[in-house]
A and B are shown apart, each in its own frame.
Chain A
Amino acid sequence: MADISFVRTESHPDLPPPSSEVGIIAWLRQNLFSSWMNSLLTVAAIYALYKILPPLFSWAFFNADWSGKTYQDCTSEGACWAMIRVRFGQFMYGFYPEAERWRVNLGFLLFFGTMIPLLIEGVPGKKYFAIFVFILFPPIAFLLFYGGLGLEAVDTAQWGGLMLTMVLASVTIIVSLPLGIVFALGRRSNMPVVRMICVCFIELWRGVPLITVLFMGSVMLPLFLPPGTHFDKILRTLIVMAFFAAAYMAEVVRGGLQAIPKGQFEAAQAMGMNYWKLMGLIVLPQALKIVIPGIVNTFIGLFKDTTLVLVIGLFDFLSIIQAATTHKNWLGTSTEGYVFAACVFWIFCFGMSRYSITLERRLDTGHRN
């Protein structure tokens, strides 16, 4: 046995992987320079970023003016953010009287205060929050925003800015959701007349652009009421927007209804449930759960579409910013205004779309049939 001169008794420790396979260099090689085509793309992308980013930052931050009274105070090369600062109150509340703005703040505080727990998973008492938002909150909001019960009345002509955008979006969603469910049920009804009416309604509203719908609201709706009736402009807009959104919502809900297996309907019928019990207790709870992401997506689209009221002369967030940039004190600040508006809209929409994606993952329990 002694002629075996060397026997290794323990294994050799692992050699470190070659430097080209780990760390930054390997990552670069794999992700940026894996082939000559990729290298070319990378170089082109870096060059584009180099051309775009530094001027953008110097315009938006390093060379920007942050304070001033008119555009003449903006002397440097960059952006004139002073405009946003001076007009900020107007951008948020429109022409709402300054002394009454706490009412708007309170209203939205209540709204978001109840919406956020409603949207987060696992918060107890969701039922009560939902009842508050959908039933109690609308009259409270009306009192706060419009006035009444001792609060000074603020005419809707003074509403504007982000507040008006929010009012338009949230009223439309709260009204269009139940309406949309009704039309979706109608579209899948066994009664031919009801089904036909619902199909016509949905397809008519979905086939035309929102602008024509808004035009209809602003020039045709007043003709429908007895001569001499005063018909508030914002109310008219809300009505047509709610119908428009309801048609889209109906299609989203219909998708959910179609996804419920037939066995659920049959089982409920076998239990002796009538139509409303079958829908209300068995089908709709499951269908609505499936389509929550779709509803959120519809809402994002709706939120972006509220900007179209600019065309019929309402001063929503975008419209009031545009008005400010064409004011004689702030000539030539349209880029700043649009960039600010874009950032605000982006934050809202991106946040909501992220929420919708998380929700989709959470609700996806892997059932496919």
Chain B
Amino acid sequence: MAASSETEGSTPSVSLWNDPKKRALIYQAIVVVGLLGVATYFIVNTAANLEERGIASGFGFLFSPAGFDVGMSPFLTYDASKATHGTVLIVGVLNTLLVAITGIVIATIVGFTVGVLRLSPNWLVSRLAYCYVETLRNIPLLLQLLFWYFAVLGTLPSKRDSINIFDTFYVNIEGMFGPLPVPQDGFWMILVAIAIAIAAIVFIKKWAQKRQDETGQPFPLLMVSIGLLIVLPLIAAIISGFPLEFEHPQKSRFGLRGGMIILPEFAALVLGLSLYTASFIAEIVRAGIQAISHGQTEAAYALGVRPTITMRLVIIPQALRVIVPPLTSQYLNLTKNSSLAVAIGGAEIVAIFAGTSLNQAGQAIEIIFITMAFYLTVSLLISMFMNWYNRRIALVER
């Protein structure tokens, strides 16, 4: 009590400048005023510039007709004569998400494979994996995309003499064509069967865990799960009479029509992105596995645990703790790098919305703002998901 009254009493003797708390307040006030000043300067200038160029600001352009064709729109029908810039934005967002998700899946599979091969006792294989990693990660991604698009996919045959694979798949310079599955009446039965299979697997997993805890008897969960996932939908398909037909691409005067098509822009983008990111993921995986002390493996072997189970239940769960945080940033990078599609004429948000729409509507500020807001949201969502996953697998300290 006495001390506090003493400090209160001594406050007036400290000058404003020598009191760290007050000084901090002054500093912050200066920073805020400076920032506001710069912002006002920019806003005033921007307003003057926009007025001079006769550009009306606002988001009204999203409802004005766009009038150009986007290359690819697998999720909603895009009609160039009716579409607005808002439609272009939605198509761009969906395509970006498609590229990001496909890329992340492929990059993870390739990256984990190469990362494990890098540690293989086989000298030749581990050298090859090393060459893969060092080559791909030291060459700019844009260069790789251009290479895949122009130098590799650009040399595919013209649409007249496309490569024919069993009369089902066709590959030519316009893309890869294949049969498109079209669900018929009664397809819901198969979906229900898949749902039942998943529910059954969850139930069996709980039961198997409980039984193993009580009796020590292991249960071949993986095999049974795969079996259920195949058999149940198959039974449903037989009962409902195979309610799935394939729409095959048809040859017409203007090339192949119908069916499923993978455009070369999309293929080059996904290929380039996932192979590039896989080289980084491979290094992360290698480092993660090497970070686990060898004693863990030896201890497991000493207990009589078999190598595959050691890997699955001892090494990988521990390695994942090291792997997940850098893996998150690689996923974020892949998503952000999907914007490079603009260089090869892909159809994602930067290319069609921040590119073509911006040139046509001229609303630079609004469009760049929307695009950046989209990427920020996606980045945030991915890091939230990965943080949740990271917490789930984190070491539970007792």
Contacts and interface: CB of A to CB of B under 8 A. Distances in A.
A216 interface: yes
Nearest to B38: A224
A46 B125 CA distance: 9
Interface string A30-50: 011010001001100110110
A349 B150 contact: no
Contacts of A32: 122-124
B342 interface: yes
B35 A223 contact: no
A24 interface: no
- Among the interface residues B52, B142, B337, which one has the most CB atoms of the partner chain A within 10 A? B142
Given A318-B140, A322-B146, A346 B154 contact: no
Interface string B120-158: 111111001000001101111111101100110010000
Interface stretch (B101-109, B211-219, B370-378): B370-378
A199 B323 CA distance: 25
Sorting the interface of chain A by its residue count into under 10, 10 to 19, 20 to 34 or 35 or more gives: 35 or more
Contacts of B134: 350
Interface stretch (A155-163, A278-286, A302-310): A302-310
Interface stretch (A64-72, A89-97, A117-125, A205-213): A205-213
Contacts of A308: 142, 340
Nearest to B129: A45
Q: Do most interface residues of chain A lie in helix, strand or loop, or is the interface mixed?
A: helix
B372 to A, nearest CB: 5
B122 A42 contact: yes
Q: Do most interface residues of chain B lie in helix, strand or loop, or is the interface mixed?
A: helix
Sorting the interface of chain B by its residue count into under 10, 10 to 19, 20 to 34 or 35 or more gives: 35 or more
Nearest to A322: B146
B150 A334 contact: yes
Given A45-B128, A204-B376, A223 B364 contact: yes
B291 interface: no
A311 B343 contact: yes
A207 B339 CA distance: 13
Interface string A335-354: 10010011001100110010
B64 interface: no
B176 interface: no
A207 B121 contact: no
Nearest to A333: B151
Contact of A224 (B35, B46, B339, B358): B46
A353 B143 CA distance: 19
Interface stretch (B25-33, B85-93, B187-195, B258-266): B25-33
Interface stretch (A8-16, A80-88, A143-151, A187-195): A187-195
A238 B182 CA distance: 51
B49 A338 contact: no
B357 to A, nearest CB: 12
A304 B28 contact: no
A212 B372 contact: yes
Interface string A301-335: 00011011011000000100010000000000011
Contact of A304 (B123, B125, B141, B364): B141
A338 B143 contact: yes
Given A193-B32, A342-B144, 19 more contacts: A32-B123, A48-B128, A193-B28, A194-B27, A194-B28, A207-B379, A208-B336, A209-B337, A212-B371, A216-B368, A219-B364, A219-B368, A222-B49, A223-B45, A223-B50, A304-B140, A311-B342, A338-B146, A345-B138
Nearest first, the 8 closest Cβ-Cβ pairs linking A and B are A31-B123, A349-B138, A209-B336, A304-B140, A193-B28, A209-B339, A219-B364, A335-B151
14 contacts: A194-B27, A197-B35, A206-B379, A207-B380, A209-B336, A210-B336, A212-B368, A219-B358, A220-B368, A224-B42, A304-B140, A311-B342, A318-B142, A342-B144
